[in-house]
Amino acid sequence: MVHHSSRRLAAACAVVVVAGCSVPGSSGSSVQPPIASAAQVTTAAVPAPSTTASWSASADSTVRPRATDTRKGRALNRPFTVDGVTVVSVEHRVGAAYRPNVTGPHRLLPEAAAAFATLRRAATKAGLRLSVVSSYRSYASQRALYARYLGLYGRSYTRRYVAVAGTSEHQTGLAVDLRSPSGRGSTFDRTREWRWLRARADSYGFVLRYPKGRTKVTGIGYEPWHWRYVGVAHAKAIRALGANTTLEEYLRLA
């Protein structure tokens, strides 16, 4: 993971579960923290997310209402959503009771799991190989991971590379960290697999969640490995606005 803004250091992908990422300010030195596993997290049903605001993706951006996160107390146990899109970040947290019903070998929400399986089959048919490094992590898993890294590497390192529980997109069951045989982490965007994803992922409902050069908008450094399921309609609408358009900009959260 590359440099984060000081106000939003821990969000989304959060832990660098990928090797070969350069530490900011380390003159290109490589850090290789251990890969986190989510194999033992438990899940349970959660009430349908509450939608705070809704607008048509085809509407003029000047007339779209700006979404406001008004959740408090127990409402924080459901994610903030805009036009049906779940948003989890430092500014839009979720509580420990948010436990989506993930499924499949990569522990994603059913719709995301099905879409990813289709995407992966298409990539394989094109002669490419995609592997999942990390997907769903529960609030408890994220908290334990943060504590573990705090003890091993100290506060400064941990705040840069591990999300505080409740701020990671991985808790949604909608995000996957990917790699290929020829690249992972900060080198993933040099691979054929990444170029294929960049050109076609929107057709399967996935977007590059933290594009290059958009840290001031997302609060997260460039993460070529982190792909987020939003559905085909939203993914195509986001891509139509530009290859580096962020979810925050699309939903008018930034």
Locate 141 and state its tokens. Answer: 């898993």
Percent of the chain surpassing pLDDT 70:
74
For the chain, what percent of residues have pLDDT higher than 90? 65
Q: Environment class of residue 12 by beta-carbon count within 10 Å: exposed (0-12), middle (13-18) or buried (19+)?
A: buried
pLDDT at residue 1 greater than cutoff 60: no
Q: How confident is the model at residue 64, as a pLDDT? A: 61
- What is the span of the domain harbouring residue 115? 6-250
**Among residues 111, 169, 193, 223, which one is catalytic?**
223
Q: Is residue 87 part of a domain?
A: yes
Q: What is the mean pLDDT of residues 125-145?
A: 96
pLDDT band at 254 (very low <50, low <70, confident <90, very high): confident
For residue 158, the model assigns a pLDDT of 76
Is 144 part of a structural domain of the chain? yes
The band of 12, judged by pLDDT with boundaries at 50, 70 and 90, is very low
pLDDT tier for residue 215 given thresholds of 50, 70 and 90: confident
Give mean pLDDT, residues 174-194.
97
Across the range 83-103, mean pLDDT stands at 95
189 and 20 in contact (C-beta within 8 Å)? no
Domain contains 18: yes
- C-alpha dist (Å) from residue 64 to 49, 50, 82, 83, 156: 21, 19, 12, 11, 39
- How does residue 106 score in pLDDT terms, banded at 50, 70 and 90? very high
pLDDT computed for residue 207 by the predictor: 98
* Stretch among 49-58, 76-85, 120-129 having the lowest mean pLDDT: 49-58
Q: Which of 202, 250, 249, 210 is nearest to 57 (CA)?
A: 250
51-55, 74-78, 209-213, 219-223: range with lowest mean pLDDT: 51-55
Burial group, residue 145, by CB count within 10 angstroms (0-12, 13-18, 19+): buried
The pLDDT of 182-196, averaged and rounded, is 97
Residue bearing the bigger pLDDT, 37 or 71: 71
CA distance 81 to 230: 11
Q: Is 228 within 8 Å of 246 (Cβ atoms)?
A: no
Residue 158 belongs to a domain = yes
> Which amino acid, one-letter code, is at 157?
Y
Close Cβ partners of 59 (under 8 Å, ≥ 6 residues apart)? none
pLDDT digits (tens, 9 = 90+) for 22-70: 333 333 333 333 333 333 333 333 333 334 444 434 444 445 678 899 9
Q: Please compute the mean of the pLDDT values over residues 248-254 and round it to a whole number.
A: 93
Q: What is the mean pLDDT of the chain?
A: 80
Task: Evaluate whether 223 touches 186 at the Cβ level (below 8 Å).
Answer: no
126: its two tokens: 């094109």
d(CA 148, CA 236): 39
Query: Which one is predicted more confidently, 11 or 115?
Result: 115
Please state the domain count of the chain: 1
Q: What is the CATH number of the domain that holds 112?
A: 3.30.1380.10
Q: Does residue 193 carry a catalytic annotation?
A: no
Separation of alpha carbons 15 and 169, rounded Å: 11
Please state the rounded mean pLDDT for residues 112-125. Answer: 98
User: What token pair was written down for 49?
Assistant: 């997310």
pTM of the model: 0.75
pLDDT attached to residue 162: 76
Q: Is 101 exposed, middle or buried (0-12, 13-18, 19+ CB in 10 A)?
A: exposed
Where do the DSSP E strands lie in 62-166?
80-82, 85-87, 131-134
230 inside domain: yes
Task: Flag whether 1 is in a domain.
Answer: no
Residue 6 has pLDDT above 50, yes or no: no
Q: Nearest 5 degrees, angle CA 235-CA 237-CA 238?
A: 65
Helix/strand/coil for 151: helix
